[in-house]
Structure formats: C-alpha cells, structure tokens
Amino acid sequence: MTAGSNCISKEEARRFLVKYHGLDGSQGLSGKDGIMRFMNRVGCIQYDPLNVAGRNADLVLQSRIEGYRPRLLEELLYTDRSLVDGYDKMMCIYRTEDFGRMARVRKAAADGAAAVMRRRGQTEALELLDVIREDIRRNGPAQAKDFSIGCNRKGRWGPKKLSSSALDYLYNTGELSVAGKTGTQKIFDFTENLFHEVRTEEFQGEDGEAAFFRWYVKRRIGSVGMLWNKNGGAWLGHFVSDRERRGACIRQLLDRGELREFRVEGIEEPFYMRTEDADVLNRPFQEGRTAFMAPLDNLLWDREMLRVLFDFTYSWEVYLPADKRKFGYYVLPVLYGSRFAGRFEPEQYRQGDSVLRIKNWWWEEGCGGDMDMRESLADAWKRFGAYLGAERTEGTAQVIK
C-alpha cells in the first residue's frame, strides 16, 4: 500500500499477515527476547489447557520462535514476570506492563463471574472472600485443592466448590494472580507480592473510559495485524463485541491518525491496521517456510476473514461429537509461505515420549506435489519434534516422500 493508494491484493494482504506474525522467519525471532518482541507486537496470545501436542500458547510460539521450548514461556510468566495470565479476548497471556491498563477488563470479568453465581444460586461464595484472603496471608500461595468449603454444584463446567468460585472471583478482580502452575492447576498469591512494579489504572479522569476504549480497540486490531469491523472471533470479549460502538471508536482512531483504512481487492468490507504497522507491507517476504499453527492462533481468530483472504476454511472441532467432525479432534493447520497447504491430526503426545505420531493428514486442493514444499515440510517436522522433545515422528513419511 503506497502513498496515495488504499487498496491491496489478497496476496499482499496474506503476505502482510504472515510477515506481521513472524511466520515467514524473516524477523529472526528466537529465545525469550523473540517471544517478547512478538508479544510487544500482538499484545496477547490465547490460553487453553488442552494438551495434545502442546497447549495453544506453546503452539502459537513454536510456529514463530526459533528453538522454542515451553520452559521459556514458563520462565517469562513465573520467574521473570514479564508476562501474566489474565482475561482478555478469552483467557489469555499478556504483557505484565499492560496489567494496569486492563483494570476495566478485570472488573467486567469479575462482574460477569458474580452474575453467573447469582444465576446459579451460588452467591454464598462471595461470603468466603475474607476466608480465602486470610488463609493466603497466613499460609502463602494456594491452589483450589487447598480449600474445600461448600458444595457448589454438579456439572461439567466451572468450579465444583464454593471456595473455588471465591478463589476464581478474586483472580478475576486482579487481587490475586497466578504465582505458578502445577500442570494446569493455578497457584494463587496476592498480585502485590508478585508484581512489585505493576502500574495502577492509567485511564482516569473525564476522558478515562473513552481513552481506554480507544487503546483497547487499537490493541485488538494489533493482536491480529489487520481487521475489518464485522463481528467474528477476533472481536470476542468485553467492551469490543458491539459493532456500532466499535465503529465509532475506529472512526475516532482514524481521525487521530492512529489507524489506517484500506481495501483488499474483491472484498467490499474495509480493513484497518495500526498506522505504525503499515511499513510491514513493504518489508521483504521470505518464501518457502512451513509452520504448524495453533487452533486458537491470533491469525485464525476471525474464521470468515481467514476464509476470504486465504481461501481456507477451518473449524476447531474439539468440542464436537466424533460423528459430527469433518476432520478430527485436535487438528492443526499447516501454513506454507502465504498459503495454507493442509492440516493434520497428531496423536496424544506425552512429555518424555520419543515418538510423535501423526494420525491423519489432509492436503488442500492443489498442494503436495511441489518438491520445495515437501522439503520445507520435512524441516518443519524436525522443528516441531524438537519443540516437543520427540526424537522422531511416525506417519509423516507418506506425506513428505
């Protein structure tokens, strides 16, 4: 997109997004520094506890960060405290420096949790807050299993004990934060004990609400790289799900010069990017890299945008009954260059296994015959196995031969 032009081709849009996310390898992202460079750009990555071939956040990072290992993220979260677990689009990981700016999001999450308690007749949990606080003051960081107060309910979703609901509520407010984890189980401590330099609420005064909303809408666009104002997965969460309100804020950001509006050939809906990101369009694109993508990757948040830009339809079928799935339980998209070339379903991999087994592979139409693509894919398998700690993969020979 050059000066005087506000329209780009679909291929230019695809390359912009791939470069923006560091998926072509051109940014040389590696180690904890590479993770933080990526997080500084996108703001957050989505967390999900399911672990088939790594959890979602790890899968996001392994596709971009050279030599990525899960311990790097753990250190940034629970040793360096450069990143924090918290609610954003959904449950996410974001920069600790944004903790103060996210105060309104935490309040909305806490209000939502309280509303759920009221609907379920569980408001007694709110009477336990002082009990939880005093226990952690006296005994130090705690997990939900350390408390067993009150029977909550029977059901598939949510805490089963009133004390667990109270603990989650204090976490949603930000009074407690995650000190560490045992597997997927959070260990909670007072935020003030963990983050000594966390900023307080920044968006105060007469313009506080509007300033926060401008920051949050712009931040969400940056989480993907470019977005339209159509409702979809990228606009989930508190504050940003109302299209009309969002549109008014986008117009303000355009007037302030903080966003750019542009078109993609063949698509009627306009797109927006942060002004500071426009230079990515003109950076060189590194051809031929293959990346295995996370199911909740930022690039995939808006499934309709993915379809119209990349001609790739993807649905995470993990919560569908087996007979309703088109592909499989936990299927990872395969990006080659600026196109999605296929998808695959790994078998459950457990730490310490020497073999990563692939249950199924599906090529996209017209893909799979190119030798350069197969060589790139073989390299991607090596990187993916190393990230998991597997010595070899099985079920890939027929794909790359």
- State the pLDDT at residue 274: 98
- State the pLDDT at residue 70: 97
- State the pLDDT at residue 158: 53
* Long-range contacts, 32-40 (Cβ 8 Å, 24+): 32/72, 32/75, 32/76, 32/80, 32/82, 34/64, 34/65, 34/66, 35/61, 35/65, 35/68, 35/72, 35/73, 35/76, 36/76, 36/82, 36/95, 38/64, 38/65, 39/83, 39/94, 39/95, 40/95
- State the pLDDT at residue 319: 92
- State the pLDDT at residue 11: 98
- State the pLDDT at residue 1: 61
User: Is the whole model's pTM more than 0.85, yes or no?
Assistant: yes
Q: Which residues of the chain have pLDDT under 70?
A: 1-5, 150-160, 198-201, 397-398, 400-401
Domain boundaries, the chain: 99-193, 290-394
- State the pLDDT at residue 121: 87
- State the pLDDT at residue 397: 64
Q: Which residue has the tokens 């306009």?
A: 270
Cα gap 175→250, rounded to integer Å: 32
